[in-house]
Structure 1
Amino acid sequence: MTRHLQDLLAASADRHADRPALVGADETLTYAELDAAVNRVAHVLLAHGLTPGARVCVLAEKAPWTVAALIGTLRAGGAYVPVDPAGPASRVARIVGAAEPEVVLVDAGSRALLDEVLAELPGPPPVVGAIDDAPAAFTRADLLAAPADAPAAAPADLAHLLFTSGSTGAPKGVMITHDTVLAFVDWALRHFGAKPGDRISGHPPLHFDLSTFDIYATLAAGAELHLVPASLGIDPRGTASFIRDRALTQWFSVPSVLTYLARFDAVAQDDFPALERLLWCGEVLPTPVLAHWMRRLPHVRFTNLYGPTEATIASSYFDVPEVPADETLPVPIGRACDGEELHVLDEAMAPVPAGEMGELWIGGAGLSPGYWRDPEKTAAAFRADPVAGERLYRTGDLARADVDGVVHFLGRADSQIKSRGYRIELGEIEAALATVAGIRECAVVGVDTGGFEGTTICCAYSVAEGHELPPTELRSAVAELVPRYMVPARWAELDDLPHNVNGKIDRPALRERFTPAGAATGGR
């Protein structure tokens, strides 16, 4: 029997009707209430003409009824497109225009943005529905008046589109199917052991693929998903209080959140007694930060997850067995999740020997069908293994597999630069910087400044409370950790490093800061 993501909710609603499913800032839905809300959304979408496989854009803040709108789209036989309500109108317009939705669901806080977006789009506008009381073709009142039973609708293979940044500046839509998400959720439930009554964080924004794991693994387990307010993203002590007050059993976020909490010393010794597991994904977590967390929370299990959106949530994992003895060594990305495959290949797509660096390719159950209506980009990123013929995704990451088969991330292929004749991996410099006392957050970028050295190594950093760390002092500290040719030539001490909408360090913005036009804003 074919399974679909909305079936996970239906099964848990049968078993755990009165248990909390979604806990928002001021609203909680039980499993029975969430299942009914999903059905009501589906009925109203169908009544307004949603056709099988059609897209529904959801432009709304993270809240219980927003999650119900996503799953209700699936139950109506459509595919949802979560859109960042904090995004600039021009980017939102490109995403909505590319998705060509039949319906856009919006909340009151995003209605003005949607009006601006729709004014930019050609052709007939989509139906606009509101998940609250914003002016629209239908509102929360209409949803609450709709039937609460499941409608008869054939589910589509495509579950949702997630738009990520493209190298050309235009967002590219990654197609995510039901079976790719289910493959990861099934593995994660077995590996992490989530169960009814668990209280799981919902930290990432809904347009970020990590939220897919939060939603569907939680619902499959019959657990509680506690939606973390976006306002806590820049409030480390508030975030720590949220974990503590909600007695969360699982926390999952990008590493920058963990770095902020550590640098602001927001986590006490033996804090968060209910917490059982802490997971991160999306970028490298500095090993000193991990060691800080592991020493503070010896009762917690720590897992590094790795994987691009194109391979659905995550493709590999590494359970950290103990506090790292050497904090200068990065944490491995580990082994492939069940049904996934990691291949370290050379330029001819042939396997490299253990211990040697190559480019990381991913195969297996999590692979996306490709990019939405872009066969050229799809063909460039997804290729057939020349020997086995298996479809693989080219990550653009550099890696090596050790003799035990554990894979180690070595940085981006495009972050390896050549300066003064040397080939340099910028991630190695960042790892060294992260060990310097007083550093709160740092990033190293390569910038072509037209000098003789080819590419100039530039470092931006922020300093922890109670510390002073001028560039000259930091330069001296790093010079003791890396060769002279790897010491950054230009420095910028910032109050906070820029981050993109997914919480990752915004490296293009940092490169811009170090260009001649941006030098006056802080480069030294």
Structure 2
Amino acid sequence: MSTMETLYQWFAESAEKHAAEPALEVGARTLTYAGLRELAGHIAAEAVTAVGSVPARIGILAERSVLTYAGYLAAHRLGSTAVPLNPAFPEERNRMIAEAAGLDLVLTEETAGLGVPELVMAEPGDGAARTPPEPRTGDLAYILFTSGSTGKPKGVPIRHRNVCSYLGHVVPRYGMAPGSRVSQTFDLTFDLSVFDMFTAWSGGATLVVPSREDLLAPVRFVAEKRLTHWFAVPSMVSYAQRLRSLRPDSMPSLRWSLFCGEPLTTHQAEAWQRAAPGGVVENLYGPTELTISCAEFRLPADPADWPVTPNGTVPIGRPHPSVSHVVLDDQGRPAVEGELCARGPQRFPGYLDPAANEGRFYHFGPGEETARLHGADDELDDTAWYRTGDRVSWQDGALVHLGRSDQQVKVQGYRVELGEIEAVLRDQGAVRDAIVLALPGSGGTTELEAVCTGSGLDPDRLLTAAAARLPGYMVPRRLTVLDALPLNVNGKIDRSALTAHAIGQRG
């Protein structure tokens, strides 16, 4: 069991043990652990000067740069809560996040104009880095914002004890050590990036950051950078297949290939393993609320031994030893198939807006065999089971993911509430109603299409308005205007009919 109490301590111990080893590689530049620690300390000292005290919550406008990673560490060096912001997101969305998170400072590389004090990060000009104050221990390590069904991003705070429990399991599992070279494919607004950074930095490994251009040629990047550990969404496999770059033994350096964020199909896993035959392929699963990932399934070396599942996906396996789990049917009773619920040291403390907790947790009272839903006035304590919304079933001792019990989907690995996109479209004055559909795209990807009703609607203008408020991956690829939405026999909107219509329009 790890004795680490904060996220920064995992890095600091490696910086002490492996000071001269490479910690971060971005393009042609490499920083040692000592160099990265010094730069993070300098930025931390500048942050304190910028606001006159240690900021409680620090936003990091996250580019793929040395200063961004040093800035992320700087926030943790101070004991502040880190809140990543994506410069590719609309300014209105980042302003909304900055306000909801209660940011005291934003670290950036150029003026952001988010209505919060800013520090434009720079390296020590005279070669003398400043020394920050001693870190304080805050409760929250970071806050990430996911899609929310109400039309606003939903804040998910993660405590240090959540992420330290997580690292205590995964760091020894993947054999990180000096000489290991770890991919960093995820943006910092995606919680899987925390795995990349801190499993690497906890073991003395090198975090290797691809540019946007590198991500367009993932197999070449792995081979040229001699990566030993790869972590990405499964759709990256399909993308590499479309490029025809997944040739046998094209990634000989890989020892570990990890996938998460979307269902991993057996076909995807087979194609990747042929290209990296000397390594292990493992499927990870976990919502942000359960800290990065909470279950894993390691595929046997021989594909002939791989499990065959009803939907052709690789099982998500078994939850981590510290993660208590139960599968509940629609009546809240333990079952072999149903909704996966979990609790334990990796479970987050509840949403930033407590109102969002209602209906997201189950409680079992003394002697109760059926779970009851968490209500608005119920106390949220460690005994509450988080409802993942994911439907699973047990098969040969492993969990198989069967889909969602709500309208949440995954697009490029990001969690998307269709209701948030619909709310944004309905905010446009002439729109009477809006429905967003998640349709199968090429290579197992998910594509979004919207249907709106109203008078005098211009699809292009509606999509442009949506793009001003939503990240690119949440903007529908196409919008259709109908006179009325089809209804089923119960008088409800017939999503099946809309889906059939949208697929027929493709032809």
Identical aligned pairs, as a percentage? Answer: 33
- Tell me the CA shift for residue 142 of structure 1: 6.7
**Letter of the aligned partner of 1:276 in structure 2?**
R
Choose which of 299, 309, 333 in structure 2 pairs with 1:320: 299
2:359 counterpart of 1:367: no
The alignment covers a number of residue pairs equal to 424
Which residue of 2 is the match for residue 63 of structure 1? 65
- Tell me the CA shift for residue 272 of structure 1: 1.5
Which residue of 2 is the match for residue 136 of structure 1? none
Choose which of 329, 334, 351 in structure 2 pairs with 1:351: 334
8 Å contact 1:37–1:144 — kept in the other structure?
no
Distance in 1, Cα, partners of 2:101 & 2:139: 16
Distance in 2, Cα, partners of 1:10 & 1:180: 18
Quickly say closer, same or farther: Cα 1:141–1:297, change in 2 above 3 A.
Answer: closer
Distance in 1, Cα, partners of 2:154 & 2:297: 29
Equivalences for 1:192-271 in 2 at 5 Å?
192-233=174-215, 235=216, 238-271=217-250
**Letter of the aligned partner of 1:55 in structure 2?**
R
**Letter of the aligned partner of 2:220 in structure 1?**
S
Which residue of 1 is the match for residue 48 of structure 2? 46
Structure 2 residue matching 1:414: 3-state secondary structure: coil
Distance in 2, Cα, partners of 1:310 & 1:393: 8
Distance in 2, Cα, partners of 1:300 & 1:232: 22
Which residue of 1 is the match for residue 117 of structure 2? 127
**Letter of the aligned partner of 2:341 in structure 1?**
W
Quickly say closer, same or farther: Cα 1:302–1:151, change in 2 above 3 A.
Answer: same
Distance in 1, Cα, partners of 2:221 & 2:362: 44
Deviations 1:78-127 (A, max 9, x none): 1111001100111111111212211111113xx3xx22x43xxxxxxx32
Quickly say closer, same or farther: Cα 1:142–1:285, change in 2 above 3 A.
Answer: same
- Tell me the CA shift for residue 143 of structure 1: 9.8
**Letter of the aligned partner of 1:130 in structure 2?**
V
8 Å contact 2:38–2:129 — kept in the other structure?
no
Choose which of 278, 291, 297 in structure 1 pairs with 2:270: 291
Quickly say closer, same or farther: Cα 1:329–1:44, change in 2 above 3 A.
Answer: same
Distance in 2, Cα, partners of 1:141 & 1:457: 50
**Letter of the aligned partner of 1:79 in structure 2?**
T
Which residue of 2 is the match for residue 414 of structure 1? 406
Quickly say closer, same or farther: Cα 1:79–1:460, change in 2 above 3 A.
Answer: same
Quickly say closer, same or farther: Cα 1:519–1:365, change in 2 above 3 A.
Answer: same
8 Å contact 1:370–1:382 — kept in the other structure?
no
Quickly say closer, same or farther: Cα 1:246–1:520, change in 2 above 3 A.
Answer: closer
Which residue of 1 is the match for residue 489 of structure 2? none
Structure 1 residue matching 2:442: 3-state secondary structure: strand
Structure 2 residue matching 1:204: 3-state secondary structure: coil
Quickly say closer, same or farther: Cα 1:187–1:66, change in 2 above 3 A.
Answer: same
Which ranges in structure 2 are unaligned for 5 or more consecutive residues?
368-381, 411-417, 423-434, 445-466, 484-500
Which residue of 2 is the match for residue 16 of structure 1? 18
**Letter of the aligned partner of 1:393 in structure 2?**
Y
8 Å contact 1:253–1:279 — kept in the other structure?
yes
- Tell me the CA shift for residue 506 of structure 1: 5.2
Give the CA RMSD over aligned residues. 3.2
Which residue of 1 is the match for residue 106 of structure 2? 104
Distance in 1, Cα, partners of 2:347 & 2:308: 34
Structure 2 residue matching 1:214: 3-state secondary structure: helix
8 Å contact 2:62–2:187 — kept in the other structure?
no
8 Å contact 1:200–1:224 — kept in the other structure?
yes
Choose which of 147, 152, 172 in structure 1 pairs with 2:154: 172
Which residue of 2 is the match for residue 421 of structure 1? none
Distance in 1, Cα, partners of 2:58 & 2:436: 45
Choose which of 150, 161, 166 in structure 2 pairs with 1:184: 166
Which residue of 2 is the match for residue 439 of structure 1? none
Distance in 2, Cα, partners of 1:94 & 1:456: 23
Bigger mean CA deviation after superposition, 71-80 or 298-307: 71-80
Distance in 1, Cα, partners of 2:69 & 2:198: 11
Deviations 1:334-356 (A, max 9, x none): 0011311231112343211x3xx
Equivalences for 1:133-152 in 2 at 5 Å?
140-141=123-124, 145-148=128-131, 151-152=133-134
Quickly say closer, same or farther: Cα 1:410–1:463, change in 2 above 3 A.
Answer: closer
8 Å contact 2:89–2:472 — kept in the other structure?
no
TM-score by length of 2: 0.76
8 Å contact 2:283–2:296 — kept in the other structure?
yes
- Tell me the CA shift for residue 171 of structure 1: 0.5
- Tell me the CA shift for residue 202 of structure 1: 0.6
2:476 counterpart of 1:509: yes
Which residue of 2 is the match for residue 84 of structure 1? 86
- Tell me the CA shift for residue 204 of structure 1: 0.2
Distance in 1, Cα, partners of 2:142 & 2:90: 21
Distance in 2, Cα, partners of 1:65 & 1:11: 21
**Letter of the aligned partner of 1:331 in structure 2?**
V
Deviations 1:243-290 (A, max 9, x none): 001100000011111211123221221121111010010011222121
**Letter of the aligned partner of 1:336 in structure 2?**
P
**Letter of the aligned partner of 1:63 in structure 2?**
S
- Tell me the CA shift for residue 158 of structure 1: 0.6
TM-score by length of 1: 0.74
2:333 counterpart of 1:331: no
Which residue of 2 is the match for residue 75 of structure 1? 77
Higher relative contact order (CA 8 A, sep 6+): 2
2:383 counterpart of 1:401: no
**Letter of the aligned partner of 1:77 in structure 2?**
G
- Tell me the CA shift for residue 378 of structure 1: 2.1
